[in-house]
């Protein structure tokens, strides 16, 4: 029925493990044991692990089940590697718009430019952790790409939500709710994603400027119709990624010349490096001594002024998303928290507990108990009803 739409290269489709997962969940529930849902473990160090008795190994449950480029939809098992999905999509000049990060097991020792990316994250992990790449403000977040999930809840029930169509308001949006849940609501057995055509051409411009100049320029460009799909300010340089067809890029780059932005041949890997934390900024042993050791992920309104507590912005900050995402090194947690509250954002020392507003947390905990009433899933957000409210 669909033979001529399917990809040519048949990737590995492993055995369907969902029935095993159901058994494992029911057994664990009966024994009052906790299961840690694990894909490649590429983001295992991003949060302190929750106490668990056993692993539910999602990466054994892999494979692209359906991909029809003209429908712009790809359906794959939760354990499918992002690397494989990206390879299959690239063959048909398509992509996951938000470019989910492909991370090394070791957040801080990842060396740049490595091709050994086979186990740099699964689709399930990408959705569960809700992380999006450098194009987030322009191309959407991972949650925007999610169209449907087949979920195994804490009762071992196999449930289908959403679907493979772009528009679907039947029932609560349980599919997108999974984004950022870190596995606390169930095992994503199968995920359908909206994909999109790759851009015909990409080009990166750059210009030297301070962080505050870069923020002001990004805000100014934001109200103009320009084919921007990424910005990165680092080390006193603003890089802007443009994407579109040739004539569009030619026009855009000449429009940006008036702001001192020029074509930039260096670092073809820049966007991948900032996406996957392969950039030198993230390395544990940088060539120059760092001013602070704690790495913060700061999500702020894009135009918010830079914090004034950093001793050297050029060295301690990497600003993405037109200003909406700031990675900074700083050791005074209170100062960072005060700043993010003041600008209306949120901050997270990656590797430490993720801060969640108490009222939101309460809702999340109740939701988690609706999906996992016996607390089978060892979620690093600690959403278990019995233990979480006390420790929040």
Partner 1 sequence: MLSRARLLHNIRMNTLPQSSASSDDLVQQSPAHRAVLNRLQALLPAESVITDAAGLRPYETDGLTAIREMPWVVVLPETEAQVADIVCCCAEYGVPIIPRGAGTGLSGGARPHQEGVVLGLSKMSAILDIDPQNRIAKVQPGVRNLAITQAAQAHGLYYAPDPSSQIACSIGGNVAENAGGVHCLKYGLTVNNVLGARVVMACGEIVELGGALYDNPGPDLLALICGSEGMLGIVTEVTVALLPEPETKAVLLAAFSQVVDAGSAVAAIISAGIIPAGMEMMDQMAVQAAEAFANAGYPLDAEAILIIELDGAAAELATLNSQVTDLLRQHGAYQIDEAHDASAQARLWKGRKSAFPAIGRLSPDYLCMDGTIPRKALPKVLTEIDTISQTFGLAVANVFHAADGNLHPLVLFDANVPGQTDHAMAMGAKILEACVAAGGTVTGEHGVGVEKLDTMCVQFSSEELEQFFRLKAAVDPKALLNPGKGIPTLTRCGELGGMHVHRGRLPFPELERF
In the window 129-168, what residues touch partner 1 (CB under 8 A)?
130-132, 136-137, 140-141, 143-144, 153, 157-161, 163-168
CA geometry: angle at 383 spanning 379 and 388, to 5°? 120
**Beta carbons within 8 Å of 35's beta carbon, 6+ residues apart:** 24, 25, 28, 52, 53, 54, 55, 56, 376, 377, 378
CB of 5 to partner 1, least distance (A): 8
Tokens for 154? Answer: 């804490």
The region of 25-33, 34-42, 196-204, 288-296 touching partner 1 under the rule CB under 8 A is 196-204
The residue count for binding partner 1 (CB under 8 A) is: 93
CB of 113 to partner 1, least distance (A): 26
Site for partner 1 in 96-135 (CB under 8 A): 130-132
Q: Which of residues 63-92 bind partner 1 (CB under 8 A)?
A: 68-73
Q: Which residue has the tokens 């809700």?
A: 130
End-to-end CA distance of the chain: 52
| Among 188, 364, 376, 378, contact with partner 1 (rule: CB under 8 A) | 364
By CB under 8 A, what part of segment 24-63 binds partner 1? none
Cβ atoms of 323 and 300 closer than 8 Å: yes
Query: Between residue 5 and residue 24, which ones bind partner 1 under the rule CB under 8 A?
Result: 5
Q: Among 282, 321, 329, 339, indicate the residue that binds partner 1 (CB under 8 A).
A: 321
The SS3 assignment for 32 reads coil
The interface with partner 1 within residues 242-301 (CB under 8 A) comprises 244-248, 250-252, 299-301
Question: Within the chain, where are the H helices?
Answer: 18-30, 82-91, 123-129, 136-139, 142-145, 174-177, 211-222, 246-257, 270-276, 313-316, 333-343, 358-371, 385-391
- Does 359 interact with partner 1 (rule: CB under 8 A)? yes
Taking the complex as a whole, how short is the minimal distance between the CB of residue 108 and partner 1, in angstroms?
21
Choice from 6, 118, 219, 333 touching partner 1 (CB under 8 A): 219
Reduced DSSP (H G I as helix, E B as strand, rest coil) percent helix, strand, coil of the chain, to 5: 30, 25, 45
Select from 6, 200, 257, 333 the one that contacts partner 1 (CB under 8 A). Answer: 200
The least distance separating partner 1 from the CB of residue 139, rounded to whole angstroms, comes to 11
């Amino acid at each position: 029925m669909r033979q001529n739409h399917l990809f040519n290269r048949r990737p590995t489709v492993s055995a369907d493990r969902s029935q095993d997962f159901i058994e494992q969940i029911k057994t664990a529930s009966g024994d009052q044991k906790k299961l840690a849902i694990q894909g490649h473990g590429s983001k295992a160090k991003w949060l302190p692990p929750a106490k668990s008795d056993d692993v539910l190994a999602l990466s054994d449950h892999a494979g692209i089940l359906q991909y029809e480029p003209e429908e712009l939809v790809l359906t794959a098992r939760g354990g499918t590697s992002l690397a494989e999905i990206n390879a299959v999509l690239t063959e048909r000049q398509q992509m996951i718009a938000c470019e989910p990060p492909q991370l090394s097991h070791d957040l801080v020792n990842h060396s740049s430019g490595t091709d050994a990316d086979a186990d740099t994250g699964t689709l399930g992990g990408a959705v569960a952790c809700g992380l999006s790449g450098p194009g987030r403000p322009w191309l959407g977040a991972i949650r925007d790409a999610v169209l449907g999930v087949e979920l195994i809840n804490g009762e071992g029930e196999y449930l289908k939500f959403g679907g493979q169509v772009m528009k679907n308001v039947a029932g609560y949006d349980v599919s997108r709710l999974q984004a950022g849940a870190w596995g606390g609501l169930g095992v994503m057995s199968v995920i359908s994603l909206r994909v999109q055509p790759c851009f015909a051409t990409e080009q990166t411009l750059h210009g030297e400027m301070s962080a505050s100049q870069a923020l002001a320029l990004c805000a100014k460009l934001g109200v103009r119709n320009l084919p921007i799909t990424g910005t990165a300010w680092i080390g006193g340089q603003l890089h802007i990624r443009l994407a579109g067809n040739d004539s569009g890029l030619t026009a855009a780059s000449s429009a940006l010349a008036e702001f001192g932005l020029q074509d930039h041949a260096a670092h073809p890997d820049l966007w991948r490096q900032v996406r996957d934390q392969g950039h030198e900024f993230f390395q544990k042993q940088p060539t120059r001594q760092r001013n602070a050791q704690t790495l913060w992920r700061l999500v702020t309104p894009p135009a918010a002024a830079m914090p004034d507590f950093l001793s050297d912005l050029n060295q301690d900050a990497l600003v993405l998303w037109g200003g909406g995402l700031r990675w900074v090194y700083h050791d005074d947690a209170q100062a960072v928290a005060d700043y993010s509250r003041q600008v209306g954002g949120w901050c997270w020392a990656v590797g430490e507990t993720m801060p969640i507003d108490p009222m939101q947390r309460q809702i999340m905990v109740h939701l988690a108990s609706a999906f996992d009433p016996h607390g089978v899933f060892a979620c690093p957000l600690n959403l278990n009803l019995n233990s979480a409210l006390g420790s929040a």
